[in-house]
Amino acid sequence: MDDIGYTLSWYLRLAWLLPLAGFAVEVFAGYWSNRHSKTAAYLATGCIGAGFALSTAAFLCWGSHTDWEVFAASDSAGHAFLADHVESETDHGSAGEGSHAVAASHDESRQAVFSGTIYRLGTFGDLEITIDYYIDSLTLLMFMMVTLIATCIHVFAIGYMSDELTDEYVDHSAHTSDGQHVHRPGRFYRFFSFMSLFCFAMLGLVLAGNIFQVFVFWELVGICSFLLIGFYTERHSANVAANKAFIVNRVGDFGFIIGLMILWTYCGTFRFADSELDGHTQPGLFSMVRGSHGHIETHGEDVILNTELHDGHWTAPHDPERTIPYALLVVAGLGVFGGCIGKSAQFPLQTWLPDAMEGPTPVSALVHSATMVAAGVYLAGRFYPVFTTEVLLAIAYIGCITLFIAATIAVVATDIKRVLAYSTISQLGYMMLGIGLGGWAAGLFHLITHAFFKSLMFLCSGSVIHGCHHEQEMPKMGGLWRKMPWTAFTMLVGVIAISGLAIPFTSIAFSGYHSKDAIVATALAHMQLNPIHFLLFLTPLVTAGITAFYMFRLWFYTFTGKPRDEHVYEHCHESPMVMVAPLVLLSAFAAFCAVGGENGPLYNMISFSEPVGVGHDETPMGLTTDVALPSHGTIHEVHPLAGKVALLAAALGTITAALLYWFPMVDPGTIKRQFSGLHSFLVNKWRFDELYDVAFVRPTHSVARWCVNCDKYVFDGFLHSLARASVWVAVVDRKFDEGIIDGLVNLAGTATRAVGMSLSVFQTGRIRQYVMFIAVSVVALFALLFAFITKA
């Protein structure tokens, strides 16, 4: 048993650390070779490609160890696998928690999760900070997905970034102070070094076995995102966007840290899974909060943490040794989710993602559609056991709001990358909604399928931008399918996937249909159980239609119709094979990765790792609210209906787009004029940027100005007046010294001189006078002496 976990952890560790080694080499590669060499790219692609091979090997290893149970036919009532087993334990506990409607079919002699510690960084009393790993089917799946998509994007970037292979690159969007375009050496190698660093950070995040490690890699992906968005450092807009991305993420991280602090204080550990310490098994966070039966034990206002181990099951001891107030558990969950809001660009922190399109397109494809922004959703899924019902409801609502806002803005956006950016935000909202509604596997299913079709679409848009010589505005495109057939076709695959279209009465559908369908079904089941939260079903349904609309708008506007700008159309050309091949590969995945839908291999792999208690218990829970999360059975019941209405919404959206943009029966321009107020509101992105500017940026600037003035006038003024006082004292002192003291001394001198001068009268130099004086003095002396002698 130890072996398999050990082997898996080594495969994944290697896959994780290879890009770091690549980064270390590539960062200096620019100095070893000239700027025309593609060595850095080959190295980076090699590292991440090897990572993919290792991840696949790990998956195969894991699969064969579990006898491919993941793909065995499962009963539709769901399968519950106990999610936490310590690596070295084999427990034969009873399946006796039959108090819930569970059709448990788990075999506890096999383990679904492998966890352990790689390195202990520090011990502070009872608290430890370690580097851990946590490997379950979700981890393996994420590794494979991330490495595969990253490899495709690296290959694409070799072609896309090829104009950096020069000693003098002219940047047409950046200007020097005298109005000239900026000339600078090419930075091909640096791009790939940042990409390697990013891959290292992302894989580390996925592999992490404790929440603090997640936070470390969270920040690291944020840094890489900053570096990559600001890749064209000479452009002011890129720098602003990079700052905005990082700062907005930081706001979310503030919540994350609060959550970390609360958990550290009350639970005493950051680890997800249980661990061995001196032969004594310590519960991890998941066991502590949820126990082996997936329930949160409350006692009045407090939650009792499960710290006792009975026959391999974690229970709450009778006199609780660790409790956490329920409210603080909610706060912790919201805090950690706050980080997810920042990272996954949910409302209200969604403003950074559209601006992040300043980075090169491969960055947008990798970082801002498939991986980094998915990290928030991944964490929400991973950390699900610690979220209480209130937190899940908040997650659902935030996802719901986000998906709606972003979809409406995408309807009017004209920059091809912006449309995709808003689409990403919207789909991330879908994923969060899915998770918040209790559809854990549905949300993560959508994560995987979205990664494929969104990165595909970003790469296609990159191909378009490259082919049209860096033209990004759709009003200048049109009719491009004739010139770029491969790009057009693969883009169409992606658009159909995201719209969730399928051919009814058959099971022919691309991946997006299945995953979106799963979420909508969960939403419908949730609404059935909690009718008061009906918006959580209606909004995603309507937005599915809007999604189809704006995606097809994008496709029709760009690729069909008459070319709107002759210059762009003439020079447009299909991209080279190095860029088209990844598109084709990704389109195959985007179309077929979710074959089989909810019974397919992908969904099975995800739901194999479902946390304990998901999709089983429909009792309303929660101390302040009363929300019942739907069970697998309920979801399965409403699935057909949900599928039909979702498909209907998507079809309506598609048809509307076709009517407006393909065979234009209605001129979109007229509609724009009719609803010009609404249009301008949407074009200005619901004025969030202005709102934040007024609410946060300007007050900060005025506080900063106040501080500057305080510093300049008050503090410096104080110091200057001190200096002036010293100078004044010195002047007075000098006057005193010169006037009085020197005066006294001089007076003494003058007096002496005067006396001397007056006495010099006697010195006439005349001899006779001197003789006279002598004689007179002698006589006087005699007289005096005689006077005394006679007296005496």
Partner 1 sequence: MDQVSLSHLLWIGAILFVSGVVCMTTKRNGIGILMGVELVLNGANVNFVAFARYTQLGLDGQVVALFVIVLAAAEAAVALAIALNFYNNHHTIDVDRGDSLSG
Of 98 and 765, the one with the shorter C-beta distance to partner 1 is: 765
Token representation of residue 245: 């991305």
Give me the 158-197 binding string for partner 1, x by CB under 8 A, dash otherwise.
----------------------------------------
Q: Dihedrals φ, ψ of 667, to 5°? A: -85, 120
Least distance from C-beta 747 to partner 1, angstroms? Answer: 23
- Token digits for 171? 């940047």
Tokens of residue 387, six digits = 């979220």
> Which pair of tokens denotes residue 708?
């500057």
To partner 1, the closest distance from the beta carbon of 780 in angstroms equals: 14
The distance in angstroms from the start CA to the end CA of the chain is 138
Minimum Å gap between C-beta 753 and partner 1 is 13
In whole angstroms, give the CA distance from residue 524 to residue 635.
Answer: 8
Torsion of CA 714, 718, 719, 725, to 10 degrees: 160
Assigned token pair, 203:
């894989």
- The nearer residue to partner 1, 506 or 763, going by C-beta atoms, is 763
Spell out the residues 6+ positions from residue 253 whose beta carbon is closer than 8 angstroms to its own. Answer: 215, 218, 219, 222, 338, 339, 342
Indicate the residue among 757 and 789 with the shorter CB distance to partner 1.
Answer: 757
Nearer CB in complex with partner 1: 760/790: 760
765 binds partner 1 (CB under 8 A): yes
Helix axes 137-160, 39-65, angle to 10 degrees: 160
Q: How far is the CB of 789 from partner 1 (least distance, A)?
A: 19
- 754 part of the interface to partner 1, by CB under 8 A: no
Task: Rule CB under 8 A: choose which of 763, 788, 789, 791 binds partner 1.
Answer: 763
Least gap, CB of 769 to partner 1 (angstroms): 8
The span from the CA of 655 to the CA of 659, in Å, is 6
- The first and second tokens of residue 575, run together, are 């991209």
Instruction: Quote the DSSP letter at residue 600.
Output: S
Q: β-strands 275-277, 181-184: how paired? A: unpaired
Q: What is the C-alpha separation between 525 and 628, in angstroms, rounded? A: 10
Shortest Å, Cβ 731 to partner 1: 43
Q: Kind and range of the H or E element at 615? A: none
The amino acid that residue 454 corresponds to is K
Residue selected from 767, 783, 789, 792 as contacting partner 1 according to rule CB under 8 A: 767
Q: How far is the CB of 774 from partner 1 (least distance, A)?
A: 9
**Which one of 177, 766, 791, 792 is in contact with partner 1 (CB under 8 A)?**
766
CB of 777 to partner 1, least distance (A): 12
Stretch that binds partner 1, among 137-145, 429-437, 444-452, 764-772 (CB under 8 A): 764-772
Rounded CA separation 390/623 (Å): 8
Dihedral through CA 142, CA 146, CA 149, CA 154, nearest 10? -170
Kindly identify the residues of this chain, within the stretch 771-790, that bind partner 1 according to CB under 8 A: 771-772, 775
Span interacting with partner 1, options 105-113, 514-522, 717-725, 756-764, rule CB under 8 A: 756-764
Q: Tell the smallest beta-carbon distance from residue 748 to partner 1 (Å).
A: 21
Q: Which is nearer to partner 1, 124 or 762 (CB)?
A: 762
- For 713, other C-beta atoms within 10 Å of its C-beta total 11
Binding partner 1 (rule: CB under 8 A), the pick from 768, 783, 790, 792 is 768
Whether residue 541 contacts residue 649, with contact meaning beta carbons closer than 8 Å, is answered with yes
User: 99, 177, 758, 760: which one contacts partner 1 (CB under 8 A)?
Assistant: 760
Query: Which window, 13-21, 510-518, 604-612, 760-768, contacts partner 1 (CB under 8 A)?
Result: 760-768
The correct pick among 764, 780, 782, 786 for binding partner 1 (CB under 8 A) is 764
**Which residue, 684 or 777, is less far from partner 1 as judged by CB?**
777
**Contact at 8 Å (CB) between 575 and 104?**
no
> Is the distance from CB of 13 to CB of 114 less than 8 angstroms?
no
Report helix, strand or coil for 126: coil
Q: Which is nearer to partner 1, 719 or 776 (CB)?
A: 776
677/756 with CB nearer partner 1: 756
- Among 572, 577, 416, 584, smallest CA distance to 479 is for 572
The contact mask relative to partner 1 for 514-543 (x = CB under 8 A, - = no) is ------------------------------
Binding mask 541-560 for partner 1 (x = CB under 8 A): --------------------
Distance between CA 141 and CA 71 in Å, rounded?
A: 14
Q: Are 342 and 250 in contact (CB under 8 A)?
A: yes
Give the three-state DSSP class for 243. helix
Listed ranges 122-130, 391-399, 670-678, 770-778: which one lies at the site for partner 1 (CB under 8 A): 770-778
What minimum distance in Å lies between the beta carbon of 791 and partner 1?
25
Q: Pick between residue 73 and residue 761 the one whose CB is nearest to partner 1.
A: 761
Angle at 676 between CA 399 and CA 465, to 5 degrees: 65
Tell me the window of 148-156, 363-371, 678-686, 759-767 that interacts with partner 1 (CB under 8 A): 759-767
CB nearer to partner 1: pick between 177 and 758: 758
CA-based nearest residue to 268, from 345, 202, 330, 212: 212
CB of 765 to partner 1, least distance (A): 3
Q: If you search the block for the tokens 């970037």, which residue do you land on?
A: 157
Secondary structure element (H or E) that encloses residue 369, with its range: none
Q: Which stretch, 64-72, 298-306, 411-419, 757-765, contacts partner 1 (CB under 8 A)?
A: 757-765
Residue 130's DSSP bridge partners are 120
Cβ 758 to partner 1, closest distance in Å?
12
What are the tokens at 287? 């066991």
Q: What secondary structure, in 3-state letters, does 3-26 show?
A: HHHHHHHHHHHHHHHHHHHHHHHH
**In the complex, minimum distance from the CB of residue 785 to partner 1, in angstroms, rounded to a whole number:** 17
Query: In angstroms, what is the minimal distance from the CB of 741 to partner 1?
Result: 31
- Name the minimum Å distance from CB 767 to partner 1: 5
Instruction: Write the DSSP assignment of 412-444 as a string of letters.
Output: H--BHHHHHHHHHHHHHHHHHHHHHTT-HHHHH
Residues in contact with partner 1, shown as a per-residue x/- string from 709 to 748 under the rule CB under 8 A: ----------------------------------------
User: In angstroms, rounded to a whole number, what is the distance separating the alpha carbons of residues 328 and 474?
Assistant: 49
SS3 of the chain: helix, strand, coil, percent, to 5: 70, 10, 25
In the numeric block, which tokens belong to residue 439? 């559809």
> Phi, psi (5° rounding) for residue 665?
-95, -30
From the CB of 757, what's the least distance to partner 1, in Å?
9
Closer to partner 1 at the Cβ: 714 or 781?
A: 781
Q: Which is nearer to partner 1, 73 or 759 (CB)?
A: 759
Closer Cβ to partner 1, 121 or 778, answer by number: 778
Nearer to partner 1, 179 or 765 (CB): 765
Within 600-659, the residues that bind partner 1 by CB under 8 A are none
Q: Which is nearer to partner 1, 73 or 767 (CB)?
A: 767
Minimum gap (Å) between residue 760 Cβ and partner 1:
4
Residue 135's beta-bridge partner residues? 114
Q: Is residue 758 at the binding interface for partner 1, with CB under 8 A as the rule?
A: no
Nearer to partner 1 among residue 92 and residue 768 (C-beta): 768
Q: Which is nearer to partner 1, 684 or 752 (CB)?
A: 752
Please work out the total of residues on this chain that contact partner 1, with binding judged by CB under 8 A.
10
- Nearest CB to partner 1, comparing residues 696 and 770: 770
Residues forming contacts to partner 1 in the complex (CB under 8 A) are 760, 763-768, 771-772, 775
